[in-house]
Amino acid sequence: MIRLANATKNYGGVAAVDRLTLEVNKGDVCVLIGPSGCGKSTVIKMINRMLEPTSGSICIDGKNVNSFKPEILRRQIGYVIQSTGLFPHMTVGKNVAVVPGLLAWDKNKIAVRVDELLQLIGLEPEKYKDKYPHELSGGEAQRVGVARALAADPKILLMDEPFGAVDPLNKEKLHAEFARIQKELKKTVVFVTHFIDEAIRIADRIAVMKSGQLVQYDTPENLLAYPANEFVHDFIGADRSLKRLLRFYAKHFMKPANSSNVSTGLDRTKAGFDREGFIWMVGVDGKLLGWTDTGRALSSPTGEESIAASNPAELAVKPEATLEVALSKMLGLGLKRVAVVDEDFKLLGEVRLEDIEKVTHNGESA
């Protein structure tokens, strides 16, 4: 799909990108990562001809990008940057509609496409399309930036540190949203970041760069298991086994959870406590309320009074959460499990520490 062959970009005799040869397969997410100044942003700017290579070639579907007029090429490639680049004087809807408008799409077709994309990124069209960028949160603005890049249905999406300025909580949500969208659309994506956790979380293949050169190009799993040299090893960090947890999701490790309905009363002998004397407490609607154990149950007159740690948001993860998030919750709670809930906080199951340990210790997917 995208092939760079000995692509080089010099500035004053110094190579920002040095003889880079790289191929990105159709539908894959290729993440470029490395220290600041390693040339990763220069690479994507050469792909869409914002910068011209000094030497070498860049081809899309076998055609050299130099055979396209730059403005025509860019209309076929979605581009997302860290600061979103939204036009402040335009509404969300008009921002998303920019490229279809340049391509002279029919107004009705544009309107349908705007609504479709806002739904896709999880923003209700009627609520958001008439807002202005200053009325959006950072995470919402980044989503709109992604929608705008997807508006003309490009085959390729270039993303230059798109989530770099977003806080950790919103970044995790954006990663999950990006993974969902990519699973549905299967765009060919070149994504720049300097966060190794982000690269491992979203990539099909990771290109590690240093001083303009490619050091290793591999799957996240192989990169973690077999770093090519000391530089890659140190760049990944010492916690390689824990970083594996970014590649696995709660929904794939979820097991049935013992639970008791608080409205029926807690029978201390038949409540379904597991071998560790633990049980989740739910309401009549099946929504998670908290947890209890045999000690609390025996010392409390009612099931409701025996509930501990009763903030469901702290106790639970969604099915799309990574095992890294699940483990973080467990450590924060001091529990060997975490609940898995749906959007309405109805209990679906649980993820257990013993299964996470299999991933980190043995590399098994359990």
pLDDT for residue 82: 77
- Cβ contacts of 108 within 8 Å, gap of 6 or more: none
Tell me the whole-structure pTM to 2 decimals: 0.81
Average pLDDT, the chain: 88
pLDDT for residue 301: 55
The token duo for 328 is 């973080």
pLDDT in tens, 203-240: 999 999 999 999 999 999 999 989 999 999 999 988 88
pLDDT for residue 347: 96
The winner for highest mean pLDDT among 38-42, 79-83, 179-183, 269-273 is: 38-42
pLDDT surpassing 90 at residue 105: yes
Residue 244 lies in a domain: no
pLDDT surpassing 80 at residue 51: yes
Residue 245 lies in a domain: no
For the chain, the residue count is 366
The token duo for 50 is 């914002």
Number of domains in the chain: 2
Residue 137 and residue 18 share a domain: yes
Q: How far apart are CA 234 and CA 31, in angstroms?
A: 18
Residue 83 and residue 47 share a domain: yes
Which residue is listed with tokens 């013993």?
A: 354
Mean pLDDT along residues 324-346:
93
Residue 67 φ then ψ, to 5°? -80, -5
Name the nearest CA neighbour of 143 among 107, 170, 168.
170
Residue 283 and residue 199 share a domain: no
Element (H, E) at 189: strand 188-193
Share of the chain above pLDDT 70, in %: 92
Confidence grade of residue 366 (pLDDT, cut at 50, 70, 90) = very low
Cα 57 from chain centroid (whole Å): 31
pLDDT for residue 302: 57
pLDDT for residue 358: 87
pLDDT in tens, 16-28: 999 999 999 999 9
- How far, in Å, are 106, 109, 122, 203, 245 from residue 150 at the CA level? 17, 14, 14, 19, 29
Residue 277 and residue 196 share a domain: no
Task: Return the ∠ at Cα 45 (arms to 201 and 153), rounded to 5°.
Answer: 65
- Provide the domain limits for residue 139: 2-239
Name the nearest CA neighbour of 154 among 217, 85, 72, 218.
72
- 321: domain CATH number? 3.10.580.10
pLDDT for residue 304: 66
Cβ contact 78:149 at 8 Å: yes
Residue 58 and residue 88 share a domain: yes
pLDDT in tens, 298-321: 666 555 666 776 688 889 999 989
pLDDT for residue 365: 39
The token duo for 104 is 């002279």
Q: At what angle do helices 323-333 and 353-362 cross, to 10 degrees?
A: 130
Residue 320 lies in a domain: yes
- 106: domain CATH number? 3.40.50.300
- Taking the CA atoms of the chain, what radius of gyration do you get in angstroms? 24
pLDDT in tens, 271-302: 556 667 788 888 889 999 988 877 776 666 55
pLDDT for residue 168: 78
What secondary structure does DSSP assign to 295-333, as a single string?
A: HHHHH-SSTGGG-BS--HHHHEE-TTSBHHHHHHHHHHH
Q: How far apart are CA 280 and CA 260, in angstroms?
A: 6
Mean pLDDT along residues 141-158:
92
pLDDT surpassing 70 at residue 267: no
Higher pLDDT, 296 or 261: 261
Name the nearest CA neighbour of 2 among 182, 188, 185.
188
Residue 106 φ then ψ, to 5°? -60, 140
pLDDT surpassing 50 at residue 154: yes
Residue 137 and residue 35 share a domain: yes
pLDDT for residue 310: 64
Share of the chain above pLDDT 90, in %: 63
Residue 36 and residue 158 share a domain: yes
